[in-house]
Structure 1
């Protein structure tokens, strides 16, 4: 995997409008789903009860929480781009997030990212990134959307 290195606003700006890359695949395990359920207090059976999911779920198995897959954004994004010379990064916004396909237990997912725009807000870089969470061997992605990060570079 070729990770993109960004050292400052000008480095980042060179990639505006371009595909930035894809992360490695990450396997969603039942243990991860269970830990997420505990952390968020979302114990819906479709995520946790494998036997019931086999018989009652349209998916035939447990599925990951949609927000679990969204919570993987920083981890997967960090595999695509390394931002150097950074004082702070802030999650700012998610727009047009659409869940397209359930992520079943043991599915492998990866993030694809494209830099839509980069603006300089008085020394803070506002990056809007089109994201697609792909599911291995599935024609439909788990979700699509636009995330916005604010990057405070060191002087």
Structure 2
């Protein structure tokens, strides 16, 4: 696929930007996220209790951990112009956490560009639809509309 630049970004509207490689969401990553955020709820960090008491029979990743993976995976797919000065998260229009990601499962991102909204000073916002899929699972982990501000 052609690399996205400031000159050709409009050609990507309505197109699939690709599918990332699979990455594992292991217990170590979940534990690190729990430490970083202070969210140490047992369903995320207590492996033995989760096996006994959780309806998922395993610990699960925080929803916001799954969401945080979207940005890095989207960058790998080249979801913004490579020649922009600055690309920053602008927000989310919609996020749905559909299926919990169990510790040890692998996820990947499918991304499509939904639109571009011009701003002042030649800046613009890219809106993309993101689906974080779970390997061997029909339902995705999440679906989101992500927004990034692009500064030329």
Aligned pairs, how many? 150
1:6 is paired with a residue whose SS is coil
Distance of 2:117 and 2:61 partners within structure 1: 34
C-alpha displacement of 1:34: 0.4
Distance of 2:10 and 2:81 partners within structure 1: 13
Alignment root-mean-square deviation, CA: 1.2
Relative to its length, the structure with more strand (as a share) is: 1
Asked whether 1:22 is paired with 2:22, we answer no
C-alpha displacement of 1:152: 0.7
Deviates further, 109-118 or 77-86: 77-86
Large movers: runs of 4+ above 2 Å: none
Q: Which runs of 5+ in 1 are unaligned?
A: none
Residue 97 of structure 1 corresponds to which residue in structure 2? 95
Distance of 2:124 and 2:66 partners within structure 1: 26
Residue 105 of structure 2 corresponds to which residue in structure 1? 107
What TM-score do the two structures reach when normalised by structure 1?
0.92
What TM-score do the two structures reach when normalised by structure 2?
0.94
C-alpha displacement of 1:96: 1.7
Q: Which runs of 5+ in 2 are unaligned?
A: none
1:83 is paired with a residue whose SS is coil
